Amino acid sequence: MVLLATMLALPLLSYASTYPRHNDHSHSHSEANALLSRWYHDSDHPVHALFRRGNKTDGVTYAAVGSAEWSKGFPDPWQPNDIDEKLIPPKWVDALNDAVARKAIPNVGVPKSENGGNPVYPNGGDPNSPEICSATYQCRIDGDVWDGPAGTVALSFDDGPSDGTSQLLSFLASKNQKTTHFLIGSNMIYNPDAVKKMFEMGNDLAVHTWSHRYTTTLSNLQVVAELGFTMQLIHNSTGGRIPKFWRDTDKRVSAIAKEVFGMTTVIWNHDTDDWTLTENPPQTTAEKIQSDMKKWLTGSKSPGLVVLEHELSKQSVDAFMAAYPLMIENNWKVAPMGELFGGNVSYQNAASNTGAVTLNNLIDAKNGPKPNANTNANVDANASSASAS
């Protein structure tokens, strides 16, 4: 359903649980089981140790977005389906192994997708069973976001930066409207200017995947790589922010996103099929999208709308622009994910969406924004500004 890129039939790698565990691993995970049903993340979530911010005291600053230094150390964006596992930081693998050892990652088997079709689970596994619960089959996992708060349109776009991004950003800027971008990591490398602009506008930078394959068809370790490198690139492009939201899942993959990386999974309750507008044949038309939007936007305000839209093409962005006046006329509050879920905060470690992360806007996710360095064990107390560019 959300599949766009040509799927490369990679041999599936073995489960990461076969990796040796490091003996010195000692995170505290006393609340791990409760995490799945909560929106917020404790500031001692292990993700903070995985994405430590650089700090001024040792002269570390983030490389300018678009510079050679910025993209160094990331997987080859031209071979996005073939992430070199040697690049995966051992800390991420440790965190995965730890989550597996805690039995926090369901061991449900990795499905296969033939020719881009919906993933099929091994041994006749039912995608709607509580153990598997695949979003592709509309199965809803507790704690994942599907609906908006009543009266809201949770605005987001998938697959950027891409061909429709620049038009989308200009339109949003003209309306003083913010959004959430579910980004494809490898696309970010090609489109640094778009990344910079999204950030400067104060939009939420969130994670889709690195390669845009169905994450559910990948091994645990491959999922870690897809999410981790996209998070790392967002982190390094936003002055050290840790993304909070991501999209695409089943129960196993949702658990990896939550347990290893502290992220909340976002699905949707309405689908425009706008990504097919440039396919041959398309599965919808601009007129059909507009009439669907009209139906949704003049219908019940509860639950709020989470509409799947893409910034893939001029056509998909045109479809959004045509519908936007209906959102306003019908008195919806149109806002990005960060504003609607989790206390108006878009990142796991910073209370502001733009500018440098400073001691004053560091966040204690449990208690909300709190300018108290002592509650933020994740960040060196003397870390002050990390410039984003």
Ligand X SMILES: *[C@@H]1O[C@H](CO)[C@@H](O)[C@H](O)[C@H]1NC(C)=O
User: What residues act catalytically?
Assistant: 158, 310
Which span (32-40, 76-84, 276-284, 378-386) binds ligand X, by CB under 6 A? 378-386
- Based on CB atoms, which residue is closest to ligand X, 344 or 389? 344
- CB 76 to ligand X: min, Å: 12
Among 41, 44, 62, 348, binds ligand X (CB under 6 A): 62
Work out whether 381 is an interface residue with ligand X (CB under 6 A): yes
Work out whether 376 is an interface residue with ligand X (CB under 6 A): no
- Based on CB atoms, which residue is closest to ligand X, 111 or 228? 228
- CB 60 to ligand X: min, Å: 5
Chain centroid to CA 228: 10
- CB 298 to ligand X: min, Å: 24
Which span (6-14, 29-37, 51-59, 91-99) binds ligand X, by CB under 6 A? 51-59
The pair of structure tokens assigned to 212 is: 């845009």
Site for ligand X in 217-256 (CB under 6 A): 232, 236
Work out whether 151 is an interface residue with ligand X (CB under 6 A): no
Residue with tokens 């209370």: 351
Chain centroid to CA 387: 22
- Based on CB atoms, which residue is closest to ligand X, 89 or 282? 89
- CB 118 to ligand X: min, Å: 33
| Binding footprint of ligand X on the chain (CB under 6 A) | 52-55, 57-58, 60, 62, 73-74, 232, 236, 339, 344, 380-383
